[in-house]
Every structure is written in C-alpha cells, then in structure tokens.
Chains A and B, each alone.
Chain A
C-alpha cells in the first residue's frame, strides 16, 4: 500500500516497502520516463517542469500503452508529488492513463481502509510535519499482518522545509513518526 497526502505547506508520500516483483519494475520504468520528460522540459524552457505538466506527460505515456496490442498496460498506479510557487500538488496516474489531482490518494492492497482514514483528516490546515506522523500511522494500520511479512516504511516529502525538493523525510522526524505509528496500532 502507498499513500500520498497534500497539506497546507507540502505533500507527504508514504510507502510500504515489500518485496513485490513485476510491479516494481513497471514503477521504475515510469520514474525513468518522468526524469527524461522533466529534463527535456528543462532543456527547452530553462525552468523546472510544473505539477500539471509532468502529470499530463506521464498520463499520456501510460495511456499510450493501452492503445496497441503489442504492449501491455503498466501494472502500477503512480503518485506524483510536486511543489512550486503555486503551492503543493498531488497527482495519481492509473494504469489506464487517467489521472486527477488529489488532496489525498491511496493505492495498493490496503487502499480502501487508507482512503477512509485519510478522509478523516483535516488536510487544509495540517502541516507537513503533522502529515508525516499521520501517514506513518495509516500505513502501519493498513498493513496486513496475516498476509504479509515485516515491511519497511519509507517516508518522503516535498515541502517548504525541504526547499521544494523531494527528499526522504529527515531521520529524526521519520523515527518519531514511526514511534507514533507503532504506539497507535497498539491502542486499536
């Protein structure tokens, strides 16, 4: 399960890292294409690509793989978090190529439960630091102990504190978030 939440000052992504085959490779391919698109944009316009444009490019690319019988669609949904002078944005591109902008999005096995949890949050007023804790908690909550083994939680964000750069959430904050997450599942 992976989730993204867009809040007042940034976007937080949280991923449950399991050893899944197949889908991971598709995801890597899309990331590679995204990087090429972003670099191409930079070369022409001498500025970084903005959220709507990169989402559009990825949407078109993914959609192309649904048009021909010689290829198969991508087996993963892609979450795109961006930050520029118009604010933070979160997009999700589905295997059909369809994409929307979201305040909160979830993909994968536990997405139903995750979506419900995200809907309970007041995202408009939340800060990234708070969002990190909630994201960690939700991932821990939806993790299916029966079906899957142990997992590694990966948190990343793009926000004012990170200067608009996408980076892994700083260790101390990530550790704090995981503590909070583990504590909250003990209560439920």
Chain B
C-alpha cells in the first residue's frame, strides 16, 4: 500500500528494469567467464542466465501401461545418490487428484518441488469452488507448460514425469521430459525402461491387438515382468516397487512388493560371463 499521495500518478522510474527488457551498456564486450559468475549476480539483459544443473538424488525408470478399464503404473522405491542406493523407501508414484497419478524419475528434489506446485494448483481449484476439478489432461497440460518454460530459461526440472489417469470414461497416459517434450502413448517407460521395458510393453500391445484386450491381471503381470528385467539389468534399480492402478473406481497404490529372481547361475561365472 503506497500511502504517500505524492507518489500516486507518477510514471515508473527509469532506473529499475525488472523484466530485462533492454541491454545495459556495461555488459557489452564482456563475456561471462563462468556460470557461477552469471548465476551469482543479478544482471540485466545482454546475456541469458544459465543454471542448467546436474541431477543429485535420482529415481530410475517409471512404467505405464493402459489396459481395459484403466491405467497401471510402476516405479521402484529407490532414490540413488550416484551409485549409492541412498533412500530405499521413496514413493515415486503420487496420487494427485481422485483419478490421477504422477510418476517421477530423475532428480527427486525437483519432484518434491513439482508435487508442491501441483498441490498449490489443486488448492486453487478447490477454493474456486465452481464445480470443476482438474482432470488428468489438464494436469498434463499444466505440467508440460512448467517443464517447457523451465527448459526455455535454461534451468530445467531434471525429471521425466509420467502422468496416468481416467477422465470422463477415457483413460490417459503420457510422459513429459526435462526438455518439455510431451508424449502420449498406450505404453510409457522412462530412463532405462525406455530401452529395456518399452519393447516388451509394445510387443504385448501388438500381439494382443491393443489395450482393450489387456485385462487388469495381464497388465499387472506384464509390468512385473518388466520390473524383473529392469532389476536384473539396471544397476541403479531395486527389487522393491509399487504398482498404481487407476480405474473408474479411483486410484489404488499398492504396498511395496518384489519379484522373484534367480541368481544361482552367478556361481558358475568366471570372468565377464562370455
């Protein structure tokens, strides 16, 4: 509240450029010598800020598969600190609304920030009290815009998110990566999953002739098989994961479970197993 009448009705001060609208003379000819130099000081237009980071505490693959009646997703409970299996009880599948689940791979602190952003949006919708709630495609659009906006500022949220849900009878499954690229398909897999699991998921969809021919039991089995392959081959995975199922009845995120694995062959191996 500006209480001083002498300030009212006067034009904006020329000394302050809050929105970086014009180059400032002092920056011409001076190239920045480090990212820290740029990031450490509030600077005017002339060069962009760059904060592209590297992820620190990370989650690996998230899988998603449409089936007859809904969508199912899987993600393990591990958050790695480089090669250290640091946090082994992390829930990377998160219920956003009554019929939407967000799965996160990549930097876990960015995931926590995005969860906070989504909570804020859901609260705003609740307060508006106009009979509408955010549906899965709406949340997807919002997330995509946030991711793309951050990428354009060269300060990405280092994640690949998977969003699955059901709205107005239609099931929804899509992914958005750190560059803000959205991708919707009947099967989704991030990280190592995109190399090891996606072919399995697509093969199943093809041989059965589409998601309408996959039952809930089928879908659970397919995802468990994929998680087994990932545990065998992804060195940053863990054999403890959760399944999230979204149907017309709502969202169910299972308790942590494991798959059976065989390691007896290891004793016979000499060298690198050729």
Contact = CB atoms under 8 A, between A and B. Distances in A.
Interface string B109-129: 000000010011001000100
Contacts of A43: 116, 120
Contacts of B127: 35
B91 to A, nearest CB: 16
A46 B117 CA distance: 11
A42 B115 CA distance: 12
B124 to A, nearest CB: 8
A1 B164 CA distance: 46
A136 B251 CA distance: 36
B120 A68 contact: no
A71 B3 CA distance: 9
A39 B120 contact: yes
A70 interface: yes
Given A43-B120, A70-B5, 13 more contacts: A35-B127, A39-B120, A39-B123, A42-B116, A42-B119, A42-B120, A43-B116, A46-B116, A64-B1, A68-B1, A68-B3, A70-B3, A71-B1
15 contacts: A35-B127, A39-B120, A39-B123, A42-B116, A42-B119, A42-B120, A43-B116, A43-B120, A46-B116, A64-B1, A68-B1, A68-B3, A70-B3, A70-B5, A71-B1
Nearest to A39: B120
Contacts of A71: 1
B134 to A, nearest CB: 16
B63 to A, nearest CB: 29
Q: Which 10 A-B pairs have the closest CB atoms?
A: A68-B3, A70-B3, A35-B127, A39-B120, A46-B116, A39-B123, A42-B120, A71-B1, A43-B116, A42-B119
Interface of A: 35, 39, 42-43, 46, 64, 68, 70-71
A46 B116 CA distance: 8
A32 B120 CA distance: 15
A43 B113 CA distance: 10
A43 B5 CA distance: 34
Nearest to A71: B1
Contacts of A46: 116
A67 B18 CA distance: 31
A64 B127 CA distance: 25
Nearest to A35: B127
A31 to B, nearest CB: 9
A104 B123 CA distance: 28
Interface string B1-43: 1010100000000000000000000000000000000000000
Interface in B82-120: 116, 119-120
Contacts of A42: 116, 119-120
A111 B127 CA distance: 28
Contacts of A64: 1
Nearest to A65: B1
A43 B116 CA distance: 8
Nearest to A38: B123
A68 B1 CA distance: 10
A120 B123 CA distance: 37
A43 B112 CA distance: 12
A158 to B, nearest CB: 13
Contacts of B116: 42-43, 46
Interface in B124-151: 127
Nearest to B129: A168
Contacts of B3: 68, 70
A163 B5 CA distance: 48
A175 B119 CA distance: 32
B16 to A, nearest CB: 24
Nearest to A167: B126
Nearest to A46: B116
B11 to A, nearest CB: 21
Contacts of B5: 70
Contacts of A39: 120, 123
Contacts of B1: 64, 68, 71
Nearest to B126: A165
Contacts of B123: 39
Nearest to B120: A39
A167 B194 CA distance: 43
A70 B5 CA distance: 9
